[in-house]
């Protein structure tokens, strides 16, 4: 009977010399404006300061009437989609003051009565309304704009740009961004494992994709998913709620600012608030 000699294949020999454990690749964390929460959830005090300054109300001066927001008479609402809201809570906690500060010469009995009436009316508004200062038409407009922008962004990711379709002269130029990113992620995965690859019998480095195909494929997939999430992050699940919440909170703050200065604003500030 013929003799057979079993010789290990070159790839198997290289696998035997290759490291058994690899360090975990460091994926880049989510960064940028899209990774941050809405602005109304950050630096609420600065948001409120700018709003009060825009209306001509003092920010650092002592208030004429202290706010009763959060007390037993004017309690905070139950938790909901809109509440708690830091900027809105900070704005309602601010005391009531006259435009120009409490030492203004126009601080007279009539103005103080008007300020007290404004406080009482605003407190009743807090008790009766959970959202005000914005209409359903404005919310619909914001929703449609969000949806259209999300579709446009996804088209940039999955479709070939019109400019490339018109004058593309290379094969890669005709690829959508997703396909280009897939190639880049595969190249990054190969570069990561290239530092661990051995050499073949002739001394040439082995292709990592040939050496560890499953590892390279999994790492490339992880990188691709991360890049896709980062590209579409502003339209991720839950972002619509956050954007609409910030819009409603900003409109409510603007409405309540107008209630604070009703009948008290100096002429130039009053005209400015009406224009805005």
- What H or E segment, with its residue span, contains residue 249? helix 239-260
Where is pLDDT greater, at 222 or 44?
A: 222
Phi, psi values for residue 69, rounded to 5°: -65, 130
CA pair distance 180, 187, nearest whole angstrom: 11
Residue 27 pLDDT: 54
pLDDT above 80 for 165: no
Q: Is there a contact between 48 and 87 (Cβ–Cβ < 8 Å)?
A: yes
Q: What share of the chain has pLDDT > 90, as a percent? A: 29
Closest to 193 (Cα-Cα) out of 15, 30, 8? 15
Q: Is there a contact between 101 and 58 (Cβ–Cβ < 8 Å)?
A: yes
Handedness of CA 235, 241, 245, 247 (dihedral sign): positive
pLDDT above 80 for 5: no
Residue with tokens 């004017």: 74
Task: Give the bridge partners for 74, in sequence order.
Answer: 69
Residue 173 pLDDT: 62
Instruction: Provide the pLDDT confidence category of residue 31 given band limits of 50, 70 and 90.
Output: very low
Residue 269 pLDDT: 47
CA pair distance 164, 111, nearest whole angstrom: 66
What mean pLDDT comes out for the span 229-240?
Answer: 90
What average pLDDT does the structure give for the chain?
A: 78
Q: What share of the chain has pLDDT > 70, as a percent? A: 72
What pLDDT, in 10s, does the model give residues 174-184? Answer: 789 999 999 99
pLDDT above 50 for 142: yes
């Amino acid at each position: 009977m013929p003799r057979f000699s079993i010789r290990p294949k070159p790839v198997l020999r290289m696998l035997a010399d290759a490291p058994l454990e690899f360090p975990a690749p460091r994926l880049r964390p989510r960064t940028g404006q899209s990774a941050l929460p809405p602005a109304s959830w950050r630096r609420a005090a600065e948001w409120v300061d700018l709003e009060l300054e825009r209306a001509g109300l003092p920010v650092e001066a002592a208030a004429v009437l202290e706010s009763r927001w959060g007390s037993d008479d004017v309690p905070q609402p139950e938790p909901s989609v809109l509440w708690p809201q830091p900027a809105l809570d900070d704005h309602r906690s601010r005391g009531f003051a006259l435009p120009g500060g409490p030492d203004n010469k126009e601080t007279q009995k009539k103005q103080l009565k008007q300020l007290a009436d404004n406080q009482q009316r605003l407190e009743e508004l807090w008790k009766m309304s959970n959202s005000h200062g914005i209409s359903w038409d404005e919310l619909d407009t914001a929703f449609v704009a969000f949806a259209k922008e999300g579709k446009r962004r996804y088209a940039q990711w999955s479709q070939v740009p019109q400019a490339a379709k018109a004058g593309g002269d290379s094969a890669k130029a005709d690829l959508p961004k997703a396909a280009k990113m897939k190639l880049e992620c595969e190249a990054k995965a190969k570069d990561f494992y290239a530092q661990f690859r051995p050499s073949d019998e002739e001394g040439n480095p082995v292709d990592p994709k040939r050496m560890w195909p499953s590892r390279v494929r999994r790492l490339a997939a992880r990188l691709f998913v991360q890049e896709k999430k980062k590209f579409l992050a502003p339209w991720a699940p839950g972002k619509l709620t956050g954007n609409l919440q910030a819009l409603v909170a900003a409109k409510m703050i603007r409405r309540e600012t107008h209630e604070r200065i009703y009948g008290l604003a100096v002429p130039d500030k009053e005209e400015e608030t009406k224009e805005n």
